[in-house]
């Protein structure tokens, strides 16, 4: 079972639905029983929504995508652009895989 340190360390990955298997189950179980970590989860989930809404209409600075490509490679940038296109098409964030799901 995950403890508070494990849960807080994996919280962003949990919110982004990037966890699988035992880790996902352990974090979900811990959130079901720990009010402090559940409050941290709620805060981060709400923060993620607010940041997404505030940044949705901001233009990307010129040259930023090229700088990202230089750091991470073109494949990473292509995946990021696809994710941005998907977010533009569907402005809601799906955090339905929260602790009680």
49-91 confidence digits (pLDDT tens): 998 888 887 787 888 878 877 887 666 555 656 666 655 555 5
Which is nearest to 8 in space by CA: 31, 47, 96, 49? 31
The token pair that represents 38 in the structure block: 């559940």
Q: Does pLDDT of 45 surpass 80?
A: yes
Q: Quick: pLDDT tens for 15-41.
A: 998 988 899 999 999 999 999 999 999
Give me the residue spans of the domains in the chain: 1-57, 59-94
Q: Which pLDDT does position 4 carry in this prediction?
A: 92
Q: Which pLDDT does position 94 carry in this prediction?
A: 46
Q: Which pLDDT does position 97 carry in this prediction?
A: 40
């Amino acid at each position: 079972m995950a403890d508070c340190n494990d849960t807080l360390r994996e919280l962003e990955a949990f919110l982004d639905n990037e966890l699988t298997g035992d880790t996902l189950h352990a974090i979900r179980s811990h959130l079901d029983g720990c009010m402090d970590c559940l409050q941290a989860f709620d805060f981060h989930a709400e923060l993620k929504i607010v940041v997404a809404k505030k940044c949705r209409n901001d233009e990307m600075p010129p040259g930023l995508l090229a700088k990202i490509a230089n750091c991470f490679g073109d494949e990473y940038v292509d995946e990021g652009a696809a994710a941005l296109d998907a977010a533009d098409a569907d402005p809601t964030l799906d955090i339905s895989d929260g602790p009680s799901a």
